[in-house]
Structure 1
Amino acid sequence: MQTIYEEESSDSGTEADNEKDNGSDSTTVTPSVTDYVYENGRRYHRFREGSYPLPNDESEQERLDRCHKLWTRVMKGRPWKVPVDSPQKVLDIGCGTGAWAIMIADMFPNARVIGTELSPIQPSMVPLNVRFYIEDAEDEWTFDKGFDLVHGRMLAGSIHDWTKFFGQAFAQLKPGGWLEMNEIEAKFYYQNENDERCVQLDMLTQVFNRESTNFGKGFNDVLLMPEAMRNAGFEDITIDIQKVPIGQWPENYSTKDLGLRVQAAAIEAIEPYILAIGTRVVEDPAWSIREIVRASQMSLHNRNYQLYVQAHFIWGRKPNYS
């Protein structure tokens, strides 16, 4: 195991002790990164303040770890969809708490795994073959090239220009390397379209998808990704959409159990997803946004609505001749 971060007295931002991905043991995290912003009872990143609308406090970290477990379950324990069996270099952009990157490092001990995030919220002790960097994914990526896989999960709402983002991923991959994105479409679906619809939830997604788009980073940008990947040069783009239930309406026991866990995750996610957008972009008071949160959470508890969401798995390959 290695300790990833060292403290430094400089206030110049963040920097690596040595060139990225060169085998050194630590990354420097400076005070400007750990000087967090506190707003409406939640904690947000100071580095590139305001560029990302979700918090980074302990509650959010616990939520992200639970989401990782749900993604792993939906994928039946598989680490990815792409045809990569023995990766040597893997890059996880927007890694959150680092749960996926650490899992990959454990599964493939001979691979070098790199995770990037706006906040240093990853564990301090991790496998020797994983490293984390404090980076803004919209800045220039300066890693050593030649990755077998670039991975992104739940990044909708954090990227302004997807073609640029995918262009940077394309440049980092080796010829024949793969990009995979895992996203939840920001829309509630109904198992039976003839059933009563939930006005509260439909309005919630409509308003906040619109306002996040106005912010410049739409929560439902998953729908833009395939075309942006093609524009960046990717080939063999594949889209796999899986239905993920919310609540205990499925008859199958395993699916019912998954639905209950997804329901709890959805209830937990509403506040972090809409609080900053509601107060910063819509400019409503926090108490008003929290009333919307409570009403939406009650709607998710309502057994009359047989709800589900769609998990999008999107992947593509860098041509071998690039």
Structure 2
Amino acid sequence: MAANPQIAPAGDDIIEADPDLYDASDSTLGDEVSRYTASLTSSIERYPVENGRRYHAFKDGSYILPNDEIELDRLDLTHQMIRITMGDKLHFAPIGEKPAKILDLGTGTGIWAIEMGDDYPSAEIIGTDLSPTQPSWVPANVKFEIDDAEEPWTFPEYFDFVHVRYLAAAIADWPKLMRQAFQHTKPGGWAEFQDFDLAYYSEDGSLKEEHSVSKWITTLLDAVHGFGRDPCPGSKLEGWMKDAGFERVQHEKFRLPIGPWAKDKHLKTVGAWNIVQIEDGLEGFTLRLFTQFLDWKSEEVQVLLANVRKDLRDPKIHAQFDFHVAYGQKPKTA
């Protein structure tokens, strides 16, 4: 199609359309749209591969984690861990029994949106992500779109509930994201942010600086900061929500043990899920940042990760990190 199509000006001096530029046939136009759509879809799915892992094609380089099957399986596992952590809940915000419109930013595999679609058949649920990695068989009230949450939001509607989960190390400007969430929440509607503080620690001093897992997570967090992202947004969510204008903001903090070392039965279960998702994600967390941003060789990364795995399996090391949930309401008069 022409980059600068001619337009007939007002008045008597009508310029006839160049037949080489235009085709009035609806079928031809439909074919052109189909070809353009297919090309666009192809470009989005033309995923780059690095060190044997597949990454997002849309906004390539803006997100450090892969989007291959290994990572998608890990995300589904992490979803189950978070649901167990939260007492088998998908959210804490009191959104009522029949919300009309729900937005799930950074939907990933779409599992949260799909389960919400089952729980709230009255709601139209939109999940957005950088890659079309969601399943095609979903509840009729759920749909997925390719979008970048950090770009200006173009949703024509306002939502009863905006949900954002697990965007640690993915967002450059969290206050801006909060403001956009506030803007697109209906007056009286709710938003909920669920995320991690990925700094590992131990309460009994069993995690020491000389441990490989400690060296790894410290290097990883420093690299994420250098990349211009925040790997520890969890504890700041409440403050950012209040600054954006949300009211009745509530905050919950959860410990996530790494491994089943805790005496408490619930924490032991969470820890067992957590160590599996961490081990499944070690390469994905590390390879792109360490090889591209820190200029490590892939062989060096693998040696470090082998030692990290040993530490993760050491029952004497009681490492953990925190998960935070913050939710609040847009004022009804806003």
Q: Answer yes or no: is 1:34 the counterpart of 2:22.
A: no
Separation (CA, whole Å) in 2 of partners of 1:253 and 1:318: 37
User: Which of residues 78, 87, 96 is equivalent to 1:67?
Assistant: 78
> Whose strand fraction is larger, Structure 1's or Structure 2's?
1
1:80 to 2:91 alignment: yes
Separation (CA, whole Å) in 2 of partners of 1:139 and 1:124: 25
Of structures 1 and 2, the larger Rg is shown by 2
Report the CA distance between 1:163 and its aligned residue. 1.3
Query: Quick one: distance in 1 between partners of 2:286 and 2:328?
Result: 31
**One of 182, 188, 202 as aligned partner of 1:176:** 188
Residue aligned with 2:198, SS = coil
Once the two structures are superposed, residues 30-79 of structure 1 have per-residue CA deviations (whole angstroms, 9 ceiling, x without a partner) of: 11111110111100011111110000001111111111111111112212
Kept after mapping to 1: 8 A contact 2:191/2:328: yes
Question: Letter of the aligned partner of 2:255 in structure 1?
Answer: K
Change (3 A) 1:117 1:289: same
How far does the alpha carbon of each residue in 1:76-100 deviate from its partner, in whole angstroms, 9 at most, with x for none? Answer: 2212011112221110000000000
Question: 1:234 deviation in Å?
Answer: 1.9
Query: Is residue 289 from structure 1 mapped to residue 301 from structure 2 by the alignment?
Result: yes
Asked if the contact 2:150/2:177 (under 8 Å) is kept, the reply is yes
The SS at the match of 2:199 is: coil
Report how many aligned residue pairs link the two structures. 300
Change (3 A) 1:282 1:246: same
Residues 303, 151 of structure 1: alpha-carbon distance in 2 compared, 3 angstrom cutoff:
same
Residue 10 (str. 1) matches residue 36 (str. 2): yes
Deviation at 1:8, TM superposition (A): 4.8
Structure 1 counterpart SS, 2:131: coil
Residue 54 (structure 2) pairs with residue 43 (structure 1): yes
**Where in structure 2 are the equivalents of 1:165-314 lying within 5 Å?**
165-193=177-205, 195=206, 197=208, 199-314=211-326
Q: Deviations over 1:173-228 (max 9, x none)?
A: 001211111112111221423x3525322222222212111111121233443333
User: What is the distance in 2 between the residues matched to 1:170 and 1:88?
Assistant: 17
Q: Indicate if the aligned counterparts of 2:195 and 2:233 stay in contact, CA closer than 8 A.
A: no
Q: Unaligned stretches of 5+ in structure 1?
A: 1-6, 15-29
Whether the aligned pair in 1 keeps the contact of 2:182 and 2:244 (CA below 8 Å) is: yes
Give the conservation status (yes or no) of the 8 Å contact 1:210–1:218.
no
Counterparts of 2:240 and 2:34, CA distance in 1: 39
How much has 1:13 moved relative to structure 2?
Answer: 7.4
Aligned residues of 1:10 and 1:31 also touching (Cα < 8 A): no
- Stretch of structure 1 that moved more, 136-145 or 149-158: 136-145
- Greater shift after overlay, 195-204 or 76-85? 195-204
Alpha carbons of structure 1 residues 43 and 321: separation in structure 2 relative to 1, 3 Å: same
| Residue 166 of structure 2 is aligned to residue 154 of structure 1 | yes
Q: Which amino acid aligns with 2:82?
A: W
Inter-partner Cα distance in structure 2 for 1:217 and 1:12: 33
Q: Give the match for residue 26 of structure 1.
A: none
Q: Is the 8 A contact 2:235 2:324 kept in 1?
A: no
1:268 shift after superposition = 1.7
